[in-house]
Amino acid sequence: MARPTPLSGFPEWLPDGRVVEQHVLEVLRHTFELHGFAGIETRAVEPLDQLLRKGETSKEVYVLRRLQDEDGDQARGDQRPDKQLGLHFDLTVPFARYVLENAGRLAFPFKRYQIQKVWRGERPQDGRFREFVQADIDVVGAGELPYHYEVELPLVMAEALGALRDVGVPEVRILVNNRKVAEGFYRGLGLDDVEGVLRQVDKLDKIGPDAVAELLQAEQGATPEQAKACLELAGISGADTGVIDRVRALAGSYGAGTDLLETGLAELGALVEAAARRAPGVVVADLKIARGLDYYTGSVYETVLVGHEQLGSICSGGRYDTLASDGKNTYPGVGLSIGVSRLVSRLLSAGLVTATRGVPTAVLVAVADEEHRAQSDAVAAALRSRGIPVDVAPAAAKFGKQIKFADRRGIPFVWFPGQAGEDDVVGPDQVKDIRSGEQKDADASVWTPPEQDLRPRVVPAGE
């Protein structure tokens, strides 16, 4: 068989990259649990009609089909959306389904974290995958959900990402907006296609203000005056409550003030104020943040890595009021999702973060000759019994080759079992630190490597 080529969009890390990814996952999980989020996992598949809910028909869902299915079966079963299965596209929609399914057994407000792979049938690119890991936190309430959770959730994410700073992850900036502000402002202007306007405004960074103004007039039927107002709103950003005053003044100058706008401004102001106190410099109000997903109804969030803005958002989310609803009860929620694969791929490709080694092994026990392999195995067992990860040399090659074996894997220590001299007296075991070359007598029942060498560590690259 010819050597297989990698499948684009389905990332696979080498062992040292996996060490980095697992560290990221551990830090996220630890932070989520510190804040009281319970971990859950949902199945990988959902009925297709669940995945293609209103406004999400453009999503490119991978559909499941059994090879054994015959044409007749497909005609009967696979074509019915309520029977067909698709791989989940994100973790929010499956979570909403899970909440409805288990509503009677959950305690509300329910806080959960969920770290799983998701699949999207889109064209892959740098930082864009068809199979990737998301790490979500959400809070849902029964019937209602206090606004303060919209303040707290992004701050949990800020803390989680901040906890990765010491391994080389860049600073993050969480950009926030509020759907009520945008909707209130646009409706106050007389623009009723709020979705359409948001979609055009979202392109601002890529195509520039002039092109957006043209699109607003051509596609959304805005007047030049209305388009100008939309662009002025999108131009407002800042990390303090001054932005609220500026939006209010802008709306006033266009006679676009509405109750909805005022509600949104109060919420956005509260978020900015709390964030400035609890995570100074991280959260920035940015009135051009739109978000494509239509189920958001309040706060919306996007997160960029400072210096890597072109990568796009690595952590997004928002408030949704009707995602989980069975007709009788609704469970409003707010949540954010970290794109773990997008983050990790950049950490590795940009050489920001590195693992000290790709194998767990701290010590390689050399084998003098195959007759003495049992002696080496005994040393390994003694070290392992005290929690030290050990490997035994695969062959009784020349010691130079055995040292090289360790060196290529980043194993810091090579252990030489004592050998009998000419007088048949067995000498002491020795352990060599192959980085410094230092070698000294050692006893496998008591010797311990330095703490920082015991396991692979994740560190800023270049250290």
Partner RNA sequence: GUGGCUAUAGCUCAGUCGGUAGAGCGCCUGGUUGUGGUCCAGGAGGUCGCCGGUUCAAGCCCGGUUAGCCACCCCA
Place of tokens 């490709």: 349
- The widest CA-to-CA distance across the chain, in whole angstroms, is 102
Measure the CA angle with vertex 390, ends 388 and 391; round to 5°.
175
The minimum distance between CB 396 and RNA, in angstroms, equals 5
Backbone CA torsion sign across 157, 159, 163, 168? positive
Comparison of 125 and 223: residue with beta carbon closer to RNA: 125
Among 44, 439, 449, 459, binds RNA (CB under 7 A): 439
The minimum distance between CB 253 and RNA, in angstroms, equals 30
416 binds RNA (CB under 7 A): yes
Sketch the per residue contact string, 149 through 168, with RNA: x for CB under 7 A, - otherwise.
--------------------
Among 4, 72, 280, 400, binds RNA (CB under 7 A): 400
Among 384, 401, 441, 450, binds RNA (CB under 7 A): 401
143 binds RNA (CB under 7 A): no
95 binds RNA (CB under 7 A): no
120 binds RNA (CB under 7 A): yes
Using DSSP bridges, classify how beta strands 413-416 and 430-433 pair: parallel, antiparallel or unpaired: antiparallel
432 binds RNA (CB under 7 A): yes
Among 86, 94, 127, 154, binds RNA (CB under 7 A): 127
Kindly state the number of chain residues that form the binding site for RNA, as judged by CB under 7 A: 62
291 binds RNA (CB under 7 A): yes
404 binds RNA (CB under 7 A): yes
Using an 8 Å Cβ cutoff, are 212 and 201 in contact? yes
Q: What are the structure tokens assigned to 210, written together?
A: 């002039």
Comparison of 181 and 366: residue with beta carbon closer to RNA: 366
Among 430, 455, 457, 461, binds RNA (CB under 7 A): 430
CA 395/CA 413 separation, integer angstroms: 17
CA 264/CA 197 separation, integer angstroms: 17
Using an 8 Å Cβ cutoff, are 368 and 396 in contact? yes
Strands in 333-372 per DSSP E: 333-339, 353-355, 363-365
Q: What are the structure tokens assigned to 60, written together?
A: 């490119």
Q: What are the structure tokens assigned to 101, written together?
A: 């399914």
Using DSSP bridges, classify how beta strands 283-286 and 172-178 pair: parallel, antiparallel or unpaired: parallel
Using an 8 Å Cβ cutoff, are 26 and 34 in contact? no
The minimum distance between CB 214 and RNA, in angstroms, equals 13
Nearest CA among 156, 253, 200, 342 for reference residue 191: 200
Q: What are the structure tokens assigned to 293, written together?
A: 């997903």
206 binds RNA (CB under 7 A): yes
Among 74, 102, 125, 223, binds RNA (CB under 7 A): 125
Provide the binding-site residues for RNA, judged by CB under 7 A.
5-9, 58, 90, 120, 122-130, 132, 134, 199, 202-203, 206-207, 291-293, 302-303, 310, 312-316, 337-339, 341-342, 366-369, 396, 398-404, 407-408, 414, 416, 430, 432, 434-435, 437, 439
